[in-house]
């Protein structure tokens, strides 16, 4: 990623619109209304200039907006089209916008799941010369959803548990790199489906700070903020009848404490064992790999008085299965998706190419399994789920079909059955459109700031 650049784009006012006279063209209209803008961006995108920065976000015309779920927020947020993508635009102060922009860029460099910062735009003025709030622009994460938009009817208890587990994993990853969030909540997180689970992405970083290392007090305070915020969010859902009656908001919010502490302990705690149990070194590393983490360094200390070994993981890095999948196939997937695809790839090699090099067999698996499934999805269904999730679901569907029919169902037959009986009935998760019932959608979607 290139270093940020700052540009001051100025256009002298022209005849924007006079009584009885139509604007000359849309480009002329925008050129006449840009005024003097200060744009801080990693890479200047000229299409940013096509947006109506002379208007407060609340006044942006529908033709500029993307119909994505939007809930209550402490900031004014709008989704807008930018070329072939969608951006989130948030009005805030210049100091907060710049802080969040730089923080998101640092998190991206550290390979933490978060939204991509696009620009900070200040110096906005209305046509009558009134100052308008600066904005932070981020790129909308495709196939992601705010937690309340995951289910339009009712959020089930097991789904809530999976969301909270994903939130706990995200918080652990942030704390491992020294990031203090300060406003942990489901509302400030986006979720993507990940092979039956969810992957969580940080959305709002305006209260975040990056340190060389977090103290136990900082971590515990972040965790307490998460517990309190999640409890409040679940109470709101319960009041709106959007979660099962058997769900206890307070007890459910405690799950993030347990999930976080179990994972943190597995990743960081020192382990002692006898010299004759040295196999436990590899066992510990395998457990970390199964959790999706790589151990880049660890310290082993022998204690002569007790003939013991002390093992301490020093540096852990998330994305073990994702990195292996990319290395073998070039496919970029979420961690659980990658684990599922790798399992099928290994089974394919055992059945078809037991003596073939792993990389060669992996490319054959892509050609005979992954790509045929992806190509079989009709264009009109392409926005339902991301390709890796579709392949995972097809493999699961094929397994259940084979078990039910007590035969090895051919892949092509399983794909067609999945398309007809499952995928056609799924919502489009590339971009969940607003329904005509705006009030209902506002209840469902929840709030996030970008």
Q: Measured between alpha carbons, how far is 391 from 374 in angstroms, rounded to an integer?
A: 7
CB count within 10 Å of CB 403 equals 10
Q: Measured between alpha carbons, how far is 92 from 55 in angstroms, rounded to an integer?
A: 14
pLDDT tier at 14, thresholds 50, 70, 90 = very low
pLDDT tier at 27, thresholds 50, 70, 90 = very low
- What tens digit of pLDDT does each residue of 277-303 get? 767 777 887 888 777 777 766 666 777
- What tens digit of pLDDT does each residue of 134-178 get? 999 999 988 888 887 765 455 677 778 888 999 999 999 999 999
- What tens digit of pLDDT does each residue of 218-244 get? 999 999 999 999 999 889 888 888 888
Burial of 439: CB neighbours in 10 Å, binned 0-12, 13-18, 19+? exposed
DSSP 155: B
Q: Measured between alpha carbons, how far is 66 from 55 in angstroms, rounded to an integer?
A: 17
pTM: 0.75
Query: Helix, strand, coil % (nearest 5) of the chain?
Result: 45, 20, 35
Query: Please, what are the domains in the chain?
Result: 5-141 (no CATH), 147-266 (1.10.510.10), 270-318 (no CATH), 332-425 (no CATH)
Top pLDDT among 450 and 214 is at: 214
Which tokens belong to 104?
């998101």
Q: Measured between alpha carbons, how far is 198 from 336 in angstroms, rounded to an integer?
A: 8
Q: Where are the beta strands (DSSP E) in 22-175?
A: 36-41, 77-82, 85-91, 116-122, 135-139
State the pLDDT at residue 246: 83
């Amino acid at each position: 990623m290139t270093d940020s650049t700052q540009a001051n784009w100025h256009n002298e006012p022209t005849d924007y619109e006079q009584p009885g006279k139509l604007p000359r063209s849309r480009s002329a209209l925008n050129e006449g209304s840009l005024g003097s803008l200060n744009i801080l961006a990693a890479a200047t995108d000229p299409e940013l200039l096509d947006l109506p920065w002379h208007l407060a976000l609340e006044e942006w015309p529908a033709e500029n907006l993307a119909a994505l779920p939007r809930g209550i927020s402490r900031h004014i947020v709008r989704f807008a089209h930018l070329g072939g993508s969608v951006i989130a635009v948030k009005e805030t102060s210049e100091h907060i916008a710049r802080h969040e922009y730089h923080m998101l860029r640092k998190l991206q460099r550290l390979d933490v799941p978060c939204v991509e910062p696009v620009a900070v735009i200040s110096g906005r003025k209305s046509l009558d010369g009134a100052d308008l709030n600066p904005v932070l622009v981020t790129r909308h994460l495709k196939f992601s959803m705010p937690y309340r938009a995951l289910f339009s009817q009712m959020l089930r208890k097991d789904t809530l548990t999976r969301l909270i587990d994903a939130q706990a994993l995200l918080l652990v990853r942030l704390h491992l790199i020294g990031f203090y969030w300060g406003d942990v909540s489901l509302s400030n997180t986006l979720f993507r489906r990940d092979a039956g689970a969810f992957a969580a992405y940080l959305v709002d970083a305006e209260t975040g700070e990056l340190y060389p290392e977090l103290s136990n007090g900082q971590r515990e305070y972040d965790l307490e903020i998460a517990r309190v915020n999640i409890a409040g969010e679940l109470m709101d859902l319960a009041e709106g009848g959007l979660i099962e009656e058997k769900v206890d908001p307070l007890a459910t919010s405690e799950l993030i404490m347990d999930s976080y502490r179990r994972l943190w302990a597995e990743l960081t705690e020192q382990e002692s064992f006898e010299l004759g149990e040295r196999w436990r070194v590899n066992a510990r590393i395998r457990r970390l790999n199964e959790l999706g983490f790589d151990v880049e360094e660890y310290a082993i200390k022998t204690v002569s008085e007790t003939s013991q070994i002390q093992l301490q993981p020093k540096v852990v890095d998330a994305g073990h299965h994702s990195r292996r999948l990319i290395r073998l196939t070039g496919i970029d997937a979420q961690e659980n998706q990658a684990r599922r695809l790798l399992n099928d790839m290994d089974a394919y090699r055992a059945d078809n190419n037991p003596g073939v090099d792993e990389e060669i067999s992996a490319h054959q698996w892509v050609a005979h399994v992954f790509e045929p499934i992806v190509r079989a999805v009709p264009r009109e269904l392409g926005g339902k789920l991301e390709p890796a999730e579709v392949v995972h679901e097809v493999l699961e569907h094929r397994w259940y079909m084979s078990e039910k029919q007590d035969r090895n169902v051919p892949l092509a037959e399983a794909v067609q059955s999945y398309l007809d009986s499952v995928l056609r009935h799924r919502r489009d998760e590339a971009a969940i459109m607003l329904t005509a019932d705006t009030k209902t959608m506002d209840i469902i979607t929840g709030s996030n700031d970008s």
